[in-house]
Amino acid sequence: MAPGEVFCIVGAGLAGGRAAAALRELGFEGRVVLVGEELDPPYERPPLSKAFLLGQLPRARLLLRPAAYYQEQGIELRLGARALEVKPLEHRLRLQDGSRLSYDRLLLATGSTARRLTVPGSDLDGVMTLRTVQESERLQALLEVRPQVLVAGAGFLGCELAAAARARGCEVRLVEFGPSAMPSMGPQVGEFVARLHRRHGVALEFQQEVTGFKGGQRVEAAVLADGRTVPCDLALVCVGATPNSELAQSAGLEMADGVLVDANCRSSDQDIFIAGDLASLWNPELGRRLRLEHWDSAQRQGPHAAAAMLGTHQPYAPLPYFWSEQYDAMIQQVGLLAPDQQVVVRQGPSDASFAAFHMRRGSVVACVAVNRYPDLAAARRLIASGAEVAAGALADPATDLRHLAAGLE
């Protein structure tokens, strides 16, 4: 790569921030411009619904790198700058302030936006979503006065916010449209999480829907599908996220759910790369596309895309990994679950810990663990080995899984 080249990254979040750093680490000497709509340098989002929200982590600790790092590395940070359009033929970006940026290679890492409910009253004060550090700060302040909280959606974020609100002493109602909590982690976790929240005093309702909010200026109640009106002075809408694909659309890139890229994060335009929540990546191991909205994939794809922008081609196929923290439960998953898998549960010393091994044709292909990190680590090794394992040995708490995994590698 010639030193005069310009690599632009749009989206100064996790994938974008990691990509910019990786370009320098990999020896790129040209211009690196990192364009971000938010005012903060790249930061971590997971603590926004956990330690930071609960006041246990200072703001500065959210940052991927100290602000000075970017200057030291000659990375041009353009914060508070929204990119509006990509013109691929001209290799140019148009920003909201009217300025234009030319690029040789471009990485789009624009993440996703929290979905809102399109029901009456959803624009009332006190009905909010959570994606940014400012929103987390606002929520932190609102929780101080112990409002009655309604959480719509019992996925990862909804469950974490319900737990945080309970930790702040709020009355919490958690309403979920589907039949279980966190369905992507399987029924064992769903049942565990439901029990956990009920034990902590959350009023949890499944197969229930919020059909509207009522109030003057501020929200005062939520209307549910069964006709009840339940009081609340804070409503947290956690019904998923939508990939920020407007720029990719403006560039005419191939898209489905997210932007279609090959295993090197390269889009249908050979000079435009995609990473993080926006990327629908070809996974050679699975033989299909995968778009994940999780920390681990974004932080890996940033550097992976950076290497590909520099011409290094290494197919990307790490095992998907993600986690959630609620109360004192650390819930982790490695690999992906599918209906055709056999599930073997290994109970921990208390009912607050277990691991569910998901198997296909006698081999472990995924694992979900609650407060069982060693089991998850062993599962990673078992998955990598592909070896057949006796279900009975996995389920038996007396089996040393580390030893078992080492013997099969």
Ligand X SMILES: Cc1cc2nc3c(=O)[nH]c(=O)nc-3n(C[C@H](O)[C@H](O)[C@H](O)COP(=O)(O)OP(=O)(O)OC[C@H]3O[C@@H](n4cnc5c(N)ncnc54)[C@H](O)[C@@H]3O)c2cc1C
Report the length, in residues, of the chain: 409
Residue 304 in the binding site for ligand X (CB under 6 A): no
> Quick one: which of 9, 12, 149, 394 contacts ligand X (CB under 6 A)?
12
Residue 38 in the binding site for ligand X (CB under 6 A): yes
Minimum distance of ligand X from residue 377's CB (angstroms): 17
Question: Considering only residues 105-134, where is the footprint of ligand X by CB under 6 A?
Answer: 109-111, 130-131
Residue whose CB is less far from ligand X, 30 or 320 = 320
Rounded CA gap, 409 and 405, in Å?
A: 6
Rounded CA gap, 394 and 356, in Å?
A: 9
Rounded CA gap, 278 and 286, in Å?
A: 19
Looking at residue 388, the DSSP 8-state letter turns out to be: B
Residue 15 in the binding site for ligand X (CB under 6 A): yes
Residue 45 in the binding site for ligand X (CB under 6 A): yes
Minimum distance of ligand X from residue 368's CB (angstroms): 13
**Interface mask (CB under 6 A) for ligand X, residues 177-216, using x and -?**
----------------------------------------
Copy the structure tokens of residue 86: 């990509």
Residue 87 in the binding site for ligand X (CB under 6 A): no
Rounded CA gap, 226 and 205, in Å?
A: 11
Q: Are strands 112-114 and 241-243 parallel, antiparallel or unpaired?
A: antiparallel
Residue whose CB is less far from ligand X, 48 or 376 = 48
Residue 327 in the binding site for ligand X (CB under 6 A): no
Kindly give the interhelix angle for 156-167 and 133-144, rounded to the nearest 10 degrees.
40
Rounded CA gap, 174 and 41, in Å?
A: 33
Q: What angle do CA 344, 349, 353 make, to 5 degrees?
A: 60
SS3 of residue 15 by DSSP: helix
Residue 83 in the binding site for ligand X (CB under 6 A): yes
Q: Do residues 14 and 302 touch, judged by C-beta distance below 8 A?
A: yes
Residue 258 in the binding site for ligand X (CB under 6 A): no
Residue 82 in the binding site for ligand X (CB under 6 A): yes
Q: Do residues 206 and 180 touch, judged by C-beta distance below 8 A?
A: yes
> Quick one: which of 177, 206, 295, 327 contacts ligand X (CB under 6 A)?
295
Residue whose CB is less far from ligand X, 221 or 368 = 368
Interface residues with ligand X (CB under 6 A) are: 10-16, 35-38, 45-46, 48-49, 82-83, 109-111, 130-131, 157, 244, 247, 276-277, 293-296, 298, 322-324
